[in-house]
Amino acid sequence: MDNRFLTSRGNGSMDASVDVQLRVDDAVFDGSDAALLRAIDESGSVRAAADGLGRSRARALSRIDVLEVAFGSLVDRKRGGARGGGSELTGTARELLARYDRLRATLVGTANVAESVLPGTISAVDGELGVVETDAGVVRARLVADASGDRPAVGRRVQVGVRSDAVTVHAPPDSPPADGTSARNRFEGVVAGIDRKTAVANVTVDVDGSEPFVALLTRDSLDRLSLSTGTPVVVTFKATATRAIPVE
């Protein structure tokens, strides 16, 4: 398996509910398959796992066979004997479950993080990166392929998205100079609002002529910067953490 096989579907709301899938060719491993493997691991039996999940043993075995064709051996099934039969997960199955859990944790985290979106037009392309003209100014961003698999070209309208956990806030005297950091994108603005949580805070920064940026900061960083509404700041974010998505 590699990252080519990872897909997901969000539920359209802002809660942390996501439908995660691991894909190899036409075979898909999803939440119901993860539940089956976990039930087998807990019960030590395909029959007991199927009963607990309200499925038939035949259906569970058939599903395991389909998954094993794509992902490799998942369940070691032992027939009866002096100690009776039973089933246990293989190392491949445990690795598959671990990858599923990591992907789900990543997507749940993404679903709970605010994202700033800027409309713009691509003015230059350099491999996987593009230069986008937006109301905030020039933004360097990673180009996301469209439905046909092609990256957007010069002149294409895009939406530039940057997650709040990728945005860094600086006091102006301490901010990196333009073109003096790998962050690449640098904008001056003022704090427009602060939404404080228990350990973190969402800081909204207004930039002239643009949609505001949102930065996710720890409370320690918030206190260290002495931020409040109206405070001048500089926000930076890396081109590789910024996505330019084609507008159909």
CATH number of the domain where residue 44 is located: 1.10.10.10
The pLDDT score that the predictor gives to residue 36 is 95
Do 178 and 190 reside in the same domain of the chain?
A: yes
User: Is residue 227 within 8 Å of residue 192, measured between CB atoms?
Assistant: no
Do 135 and 217 reside in the same domain of the chain?
A: yes
User: Is residue 194 within 8 Å of residue 222, measured between CB atoms?
Assistant: yes
* pLDDT tens digits for range 21-68: 888 888 899 999 999 999 999 999 999 999 999 999 999 999 999 999
Do 73 and 139 reside in the same domain of the chain?
A: no
User: Is residue 87 within 8 Å of residue 76, measured between CB atoms?
Assistant: yes
**17: confidence class by pLDDT, cuts 50, 70, 90:** low
Do 199 and 139 reside in the same domain of the chain?
A: yes
Cα–Cα distance between 211 and 223 in angstroms, integer? 25
Copy the structure tokens of residue 89.
């997960």
Do 13 and 124 reside in the same domain of the chain?
A: no
Nearest to 217 by CA among 241, 194, 240: 194
Count of domains for the chain: 2
Do 103 and 129 reside in the same domain of the chain?
A: no
For residue 202, give its domain range: 115-246
* pLDDT tens digits for range 62-95: 999 999 999 999 999 876 544 445 899 999 999 9
Do 104 and 119 reside in the same domain of the chain?
A: no
Do 131 and 222 reside in the same domain of the chain?
A: yes
| Last residue within a domain, chosen from 83, 111, 139 | 111
Q: Which of these ranges, 4-13, 144-153, 182-191, has the smallest mean pLDDT?
A: 4-13
Do 153 and 227 reside in the same domain of the chain?
A: yes
Give pTM, 2 decimals.
0.60
Q: Which residues, in sequence order, are CB contacts of 210 under 8 Å at separation 6+?
A: 118, 134, 135, 136, 137, 187
Do 195 and 241 reside in the same domain of the chain?
A: yes
Do 128 and 202 reside in the same domain of the chain?
A: yes
Give me the residue label for tokens 């602060």: 194
The pLDDT score that the predictor gives to residue 14 is 43
The pLDDT score that the predictor gives to residue 86 is 83
